[in-house]
Structure 1
Amino acid sequence: MLRATDLHKAYETEDGALPVLRGVSLAMEGGETLALTGESGSGKSTMLHLIGGLDAADHGQIVVDGIDLGTLDDIGRAKLRRDTVGLIFQQFNLIPSLNVMQNLTFQARLAGRHDVSWTDSLAQRLGLADHLDRYPEQLSGGQQQRVAIGRTLAARPRLVLADEPTGNLDETTGDIVLDLLLELARETNTAVLMVTHSQRLAARMARQVHLTQGQLTRPDMGQAAQ
């Protein structure tokens, strides 16, 4: 499902190039869940942005579901995010002028995969069935994140990239939201790569890797990941 090989990324600063990723490699199978941990500024979000085609690596290769991102232009990368890769952020990023139902179906309609029965099932499972006519500003943070998860899964992506998806929620609400995400991902055989600073949440995933000074390590082994 995902193969990232020898990724390097640096950003230009007033003091010159600042390396963020220094030869990072990882792979995921379909349906697998993986936690990416690391200190603030370690490159976790950069890694997700590269895999999602929101930014380009300086060196290395990323292949998602057989597609080499290095061969894609902006339109091709947008199509990848529309059809194959789902993104969930802690900021929710809902469209304020659309109600819950319209937000839920937005991504699926873009991908040409709108399925009424699947959307209705998601709304029920996510506890949103009684809020479909409401707008984002009328929802709690936990409800907004449920809408964001539903919007992503409604399009049936092969890979979900979640960047601190419970970061704006209290611990209890965050646990409930993560439970729902993982449960629905299992049922749809969707791979989930989640960035988190929480070892407690990372332990919920099938595998964990850790970014330190731009390199990937396995927390349980303490050595560079191969």
Structure 2
Amino acid sequence: MLLRVRDLTKTYPGAEGPVQVLSGIDLDLGDGETLALTGESGSGKSTLLHLIAGLEPADGGTILLAGKDVGKLGDGGRAALRRGTVGVVFQQFNLIPSLTVAGNIAFQARLAGRHDPDGAAQLAQRLGLGDHLAKYPEALSGGQQQRVAIARVLAARPRLVLADEPTGNLDEATAERVLDLMLELVAEAGAALMVVTHSERLASRLGRRAHLSRGRIA
């Protein structure tokens, strides 16, 4: 099993005391599987992705990713996991403003030691970014920045792709094309894909669904 989550809990401080965001989450995901993570705003979907990627510490429970206990890794170990095993498509893009589109796409692949210039150029072309490679993020629309963020993760060929509303800034036709490409590329790599989404249409395209409600998977 690529990902195994057991009894995961997370609490944040609130104005009136601690707020329980995740309450005993259990989740499994194997190589090649695709999963839609749905739920109302504030149900903990993005938090769960961040915990799996080692971006935040859990309060309790375990996350085993590619045989490693994420909670027992130090900062260096979690960073290494994000370089080589897991890629995150953030809702806010998190592009590097000082790098061109081409540089942003290559960034994570270089860190992982998997940079393929020809493959990256083909990926950019397929995502409609071929004419924008020399531009900087500030010159792009929100939808174009979203596609760069997706390309950056896919170019590194991680075993697990975590995507937080990856088509939220795209029109419906472009969203369909981007999702098709994501599914095609993760299938080619034998990778797993977990997508946070509010879109019923997108969720229906993935192999499985997990619905978060009141901090639990319903």
Q: TM-score, normalised by structure 2?
A: 0.94
- For 2:135 and 2:24, locate their aligned partners in 1 and report how far apart those are by CA, in whole Å: 46
C-alpha contact (below 8 Å) 2:54/2:71 kept by paired residues: no
Deviation at 1:189, TM superposition (A): 1.3
Q: Percent identity?
A: 64
Check whether the contact 1:3–1:26 (CA below 8 A) recurs between aligned residues.
yes
Q: In the alignment, is residue 130 of structure 1 matched against residue 131 of structure 2?
A: yes
Give the structure 2 partner of residue 34 of structure 1: 35
Mapped partners of 1:17, 1:97: distance in 2: 39
**In structure 2, distance between residues paired with 1:147 and 1:14:** 37
Match of 1:174? 175
1:50-129 map, 5 Å: 50-129=51-130
Runs of 4+, deviation exceeding 4 Å: none
Q: Secondary structure of the residue that 1:23 maps to in structure 2?
A: strand
Q: Secondary structure at the match of 2:176?
A: helix
Q: Is the 8 A contact 1:90 1:168 kept in 2?
A: no
Deviation at 1:123, TM superposition (A): 2.1
Structure 2 Cα separation of the partners of residues 191 and 116 of structure 1: 24
Equivalence for 2:195: 194
The aligned counterpart of 1:150 is 151
Q: Letter of the 2:4 partner, please give it.
A: R
Cα distance, 1:2 vs structure 2: 0.6
Deviation of 1:147 after TM superposition, in Å, equals 1.4
- Tell me, in whole angstroms, the C-alpha distance in 2 between the residues paired with 1:123 and 1:4: 33
1:21 match: secondary structure: strand
- Aligned-partner residue type, residue 32 of structure 2: G
Residue 222 of structure 1: aligned partner: none
After superposing the two structures, state which structure 1 stretch, 188-197 or 175-184, moved more: 175-184
Task: Determine the C-alpha separation between the residues in 2 that align with 1:145 and 1:165.
Answer: 7
Structure 1 contact 142–174 (Cα < 8 Å) conserved: no
Query: For the Cα contact (< 8 Å) 1:142–1:177, is it kept in 2?
Result: no
Runs of at least 5 residues in structure 2 that lack an aligned partner in the other structure:
none
Q: How far is 1:17 from its partner?
A: 1.4
The alignment of Structure 1 onto Structure 2 pairs a total of residues equal to 217
The two structures, once aligned, show a CA RMSD in angstroms of: 1.3
For structure 1, the 5+ residue unaligned runs are 218-226
CA distance in 1 between counterparts of 2:130 and 2:14 reads 48
